[in-house]
Amino acid sequence: MTMTEVNPASIEPQVADFQRRYQGIEAEVGKVIVGHKEVVGQTVLCLMIGGHALLEGVPGLGKTMLVRTLSQVLDLQFSRIQFTPDLMPADIVGTSIVSTDDRGNRAWQFQPGPIFGNLILADEINRATPKTQSALLEAMAEQSVSVAKTTHIMPNPFFVLATQNPIEMEGTYPLPEAQLDRFAFKISVQSPALADLLTILDRTTGTQTPEPRNVINAAEIVEMKKLVRAVPVASHVKDYIGRLVLATHPDAPQAVEIARKFIRFGASPRGAQAIILAAKVLALREGRYNVSFADVRAVLLPALRHRVILNFEGQAEGLSTDAVLRKVVDATPEAAPV
């Protein structure tokens, strides 16, 4: 029986198999990536829900190395796109060219761009212009691209892992809100602690370089994604997720005080979808076939931090979106008000 055939008698072995595969991915990535256990966990979790991830941090923290390592651990077709100010949309999705066959007949032929792969690294995505960034929108949202009135389907699975430097750094362009919303997670990459930094130096300046091995293929990832979809979520947990998302909307009846005071725009329905799917993965990773309130809270920040926009007052106070979201969680009870 495969992981997708959910039978009460076979739930435990399916969950155990999911755990084994998931832990295998994390262990292999951990051979190379040091000190970013939470970042690695959130990135792998995002892959398991079939979502796209945006990794933000200053240069040199290992964002690109993380994605390259994942490409070695996962037996997927890997493609890297280096985003620069002169990059054009056709450089990403491809274009139609005139080809000539053996008989001299000419015809238009689609030449696929680097977006056609399983695991796409969009490196330094915010160094390209918004026009070029938007070339990813259709592929990320609909798993397809349209060129010359023809729709081309992306391979399955299809993941975009984008890296970006903080937008206050020189030479970058803010990502459009519509594109930000396509990312299931925005993952914050912080500087390593001293002990981790010393380990990084030992691994990268010595004679031996760790080499991760391939542990999972595309078919297994598709099976894992299907099992995630089959995990049940109790109605009261769904209600909690809905109230948390609506609590970020300053004009909604469920809005909490800090949202009315400091938030301009709240999270979209995609945020609630990302929370539910990510909480399901977290439950499976912990060996459970049900979602808890703690699972929801554990994935809320990466699922919503890029979907909530602070107003002028919040920015003037120097508040971070994460700090506001934590207050929203604290102010939203697990049980619905009677």
Q: Could you report the per-residue pLDDT of 73-99, keeping only the tens digit for each?
A: 998 888 999 998 889 888 998 887 777
Q: What is the DSSP letter of 10?
A: G
Q: Does residue 130 have a cis bond before it (omega within 30 degrees)? A: no
pLDDT band at 144 (very low <50, low <70, confident <90, very high): confident
C-alpha span between 116 and 124 (Å, rounded) = 19
Are 122 and 163 in contact by the 8 Å Cβ rule? The answer is yes
For 98-164, give the DSSP string. Answer: EEE-TTS-EEEEEEE-TT-SSEEEEETGGGS-HHHHGGGHHHHHHSEEEETTEEEEPPSS-EEEEEE
Are 225 and 278 in contact by the 8 Å Cβ rule? The answer is no
Mean pLDDT of 184-209: 84
Mean pLDDT of 160-169: 80
In this prediction the pTM is 0.87
Q: What is the pLDDT of residue 1?
A: 45
Closest residue by Cα to residue 25 from 11, 37, 10: 37
pLDDT band at 110 (very low <50, low <70, confident <90, very high): confident
| 21: number of Cβ within 10 Å | 17
Domains of the chain (ranges; CATH) run 7-87+114-219 (3.40.50.300), 231-338 (1.10.8.80)
308-316 long-range CB contacts below 8 Å, 24 or more apart? 308/248, 308/263, 308/265, 308/266, 308/267, 309/177, 309/263, 309/264, 309/265, 310/262, 310/263, 310/264, 311/250, 311/262, 311/263, 311/264, 312/264, 313/261, 313/262, 314/261, 314/262, 314/263, 314/264
**Coil, strand or helix: which one is 212?**
coil
Kind of pairing, strands 144-147 and 94-100? unpaired
Mean pLDDT of the chain: 87
